[in-house]
Structure 1
Amino acid sequence: MITAKAPDTPELLEAYFYFRWLHLREPWNFPPGSEKDEYEQVSEHRILIDEEQHIIACGRVHLNTSEEAQIRHIAVAPEYRGQSYGQAILAELEQVAMDLGAVRAVTNSRETSIAFFESCGFEIEREAPKELGSLNRQQMVKRFDGKNSPLRHPDWCNELQQTWEDTIPISQHMGIKLKRYTGYRLEVAASLNKNVNLHGTMFAGSVFSLATLTGWGLIFLQLKRLQLEGEIVLGDGNIHYHKPVTLKPSAVAELTSLEGSFTKLEKGKKCPLTLTVEVLDDTKPVAEFVGQYWILPPKRNTNKKA
């Protein structure tokens, strides 16, 4: 599973700076050390790491003013490009910026990355100073106005939330809310107060339902991305409870844990998918759910006009 975090050990911090140099400075023949500047100590740094603690993406954010955040040094390892990890690390940095009180974010983009930032809601504002003395850049800005949040495809997310509330009544009773969607990772929260048992912890059945809906939601968003239609049903589900939920229940599903192909659905056949969902209590993993989902193709209208 791919995890987003700060490089919070000396080893990870060293690996983070090396990753930055390798992908953002070495291609231009700049020596190690050129990847650092005077803002490192006042910045928030984020990385995406795999299960073996290998960095696959990185980025940095710091405040220019109390309202403006500067995003820099986004890089993704070549073998992971084109899989939404760039959007994922950018979404992490945007969330940090908003947590720090920023109402807008700016970045100085090279020509080759303008399309990427535009797809994530940034707009060109003006020409920026050259990078490394020779590379042309444009300053781009994104305003956090509620409609322009770190949610990828907020229209899809709103539709998912509404679908839960309209067609799965238990979601409202549980306080199910879509928390974040980065393009590859979906985070869903629930209310502990609405799901508490006599021990002051979350009902085991509610934990199962939260995990099931989170997996269902990620598949729903994938159908949107692939421009496919189908009815998502749970065929089988197994969950392992490690610890009780006592604080802030949430669940996370990532595309990296999705097994199966949508090819059958494209051919009008039912499509089996297996997905792993991690349940958290605040930031601590407390349960793991593995669901066997089926996507049923839309029913064809066989009624003929007289």
Structure 2
Amino acid sequence: MFTIATPKTEKELEDYFHFRWQWLREPWGYPIGSEKDEYETVSEHRVILNPSGEIVACGRIHLNTSEEAQIRHIAVDKRYRRKGVGQIILSALESVARDLGAERAVTNSRETSMSFFSACGFQIEKEAPNELGKLKRTHMFKLLVDNNVLVLHPKWCQELQSTWHEQIPITEHMGIKLYQYTERTIETRASLNKNINLHGSMFAGSIFSQATLTGWGMIFLQLKQKGLVGEIVLGDGNIHYHKPITMKPRAVCNIESVKARFDLLTAGKKCPIDLKVELHDGDTAVAEFIGKYWVLPPQD
């Protein structure tokens, strides 16, 4: 049985980098240290461990932009090749990319690994600079689409995401993405890396912002469903924190928690809306936000 792990301690990182050098640099006569570059501290690193705790595969991923993640340094011990281990490490890195909010993954593949990436859904885009000055590479990409995610009314959802980025720029800097919408539930996700504090957890202010925007998004999409228009503003918001977020920031708002007087809006009056947003770290509930919003009717 294999285990996916993140090297964290000094010894774990030392073993990880040595494994990378052993399989990606030593065969070409490059010294220890050549396996590292300037992106190490801003990257996510993963290893695959066998039942004895030995590294049998590794890989790294970092963001080029808020929408694009680059996969590098995938290596598999030759004793474990063609056993599905390469697919496991690649899948783990793609999962990290999705959690960071990336919409596509890219890699600069050597000729010997192009068939592997092609079999895993990557497509050739263009030539890439040679590695180490002599290894020919090809730039490949893959769109990161989660087929298990349900997004109804995709045009409305895209309009919401665009509205956030254009009118509330902090959403893009925080990596907040609309993850799911089912008419009854909205879920957003945020990038932990873009909101992490010195304790390795998400800033409390970032959690509050994600909760506020999730509630705002639910109202936006409810207005679309009802054929109504108006300006959404936050009147008051309170949040209770139970646990820190250290892995996967998620915010969920269910229609059952929304109390609204949309009839007032149709009469040209401002509409009060109360709702609740639940914050999760993966599947663990960590906070609860209670918000009061107003929808102001359009001005003639």
Q: Which amino acid aligns with 1:189?
A: R
Q: Which amino acid aligns with 1:210?
A: Q
Which stretches in structure 2 are left out of the alignment for 5+ residues? 1-144
Shift of 1:227: 0.4
Shift of 1:188: 0.2
CA distance in 1, matches of 2:148, 2:248: 25
1:283 corresponds to which residue? 283
Shift of 1:223: 0.2
* CA deviations over 1:182-201 (Å, ceiling 9, x no partner): 11000000000000001000
Shift of 1:261: 1.7
CA distance in 2, matches of 1:225, 1:248: 29
Q: Secondary structure at the match of 1:222?
A: helix
Asked if structure 2 preserves the Cα contact closer than 8 Å seen for 1:176 and 1:190, the reply is: yes
Write out the 4+ residue segments of structure 1 that deviate beyond 4 Å after TM superposition: 145-149
CA distance in 1, matches of 2:298, 2:213: 21
CA distance in 2, matches of 1:286, 1:149: 22
2:207 aligned with 1:173, yes or no? no
Q: Secondary structure at the match of 1:191?
A: coil
Q: Which amino acid aligns with 1:243?
A: K
* CA deviations over 1:74-113 (Å, ceiling 9, x no partner): xxxxxxxxxxxxxxxxxxxxxxxxxxxxxxxxxxxxxxxx
Q: Which amino acid aligns with 2:289?
A: F
CA distance in 2, matches of 1:230, 1:273: 13
Q: Secondary structure at the match of 2:228?
A: coil
**Distance change >3 Å, CA 268–CA 172, structure 1 → 2:** same
2:202 corresponds to which residue? 202
Asked if structure 2 preserves the Cα contact closer than 8 Å seen for 1:271 and 1:294, the reply is: yes
Aligned length: 157
CA distance in 2, matches of 1:226, 1:147: 28
1:235 corresponds to which residue? 235
Q: TM-score, normalised on structure 1?
A: 0.50
2:8 corresponds to which residue? none
CA distance in 1, matches of 2:227, 2:212: 23
Which stretches in structure 1 are left out of the alignment for 5+ residues? 1-144, 301-306
Asked if structure 2 preserves the Cα contact closer than 8 Å seen for 1:176 and 1:188, the reply is: yes
Q: Which amino acid aligns with 1:167?
A: Q
2:224 corresponds to which residue? 224
Q: Which amino acid aligns with 1:175?
A: G
**Distance change >3 Å, CA 169–CA 265, structure 1 → 2:** same
2:172 aligned with 1:188, yes or no? no
1:245 corresponds to which residue? 245
Shift of 1:149: 6.6
Asked if structure 1 preserves the Cα contact closer than 8 Å seen for 2:149 and 2:180, the reply is: no
CA distance in 1, matches of 2:150, 2:253: 17
Q: Which amino acid aligns with 2:191?
A: S
Q: Which has the larger radius of gyration?
A: 2
**Distance change >3 Å, CA 149–CA 201, structure 1 → 2:** closer
2:261 corresponds to which residue? 261
Q: Which amino acid aligns with 2:269?
A: K
CA distance in 1, matches of 2:182, 2:259: 19
Q: Secondary structure at the match of 2:152?
A: coil
Q: TM-score, normalised on structure 2?
A: 0.51
Alignment of 1:1-306 (within 5 A): 150-300=150-300
Asked if structure 2 preserves the Cα contact closer than 8 Å seen for 1:147 and 1:154, the reply is: no
Q: Which amino acid aligns with 2:194?
A: K
Q: Secondary structure at the match of 2:251?
A: strand
CA distance in 2, matches of 1:147, 1:242: 32
**Distance change >3 Å, CA 201–CA 231, structure 1 → 2:** same
Q: Secondary structure at the match of 1:160?
A: helix
Q: Which amino acid aligns with 1:237?
A: G
**Distance change >3 Å, CA 294–CA 200, structure 1 → 2:** same
Asked if structure 1 preserves the Cα contact closer than 8 Å seen for 2:196 and 2:203, the reply is: yes
Shift of 1:260: 2.2
The share of aligned pairs that are identical, in percent, is 61
Q: Secondary structure at the match of 2:274?
A: strand
* CA deviations over 1:11-50 (Å, ceiling 9, x no partner): xxxxxxxxxxxxxxxxxxxxxxxxxxxxxxxxxxxxxxxx
Shift of 1:259: 1.2
CA distance in 1, matches of 2:264, 2:225: 16
Q: Secondary structure at the match of 2:276?
A: strand
Shift of 1:150: 2.3
CA distance in 2, matches of 1:291, 1:150: 25
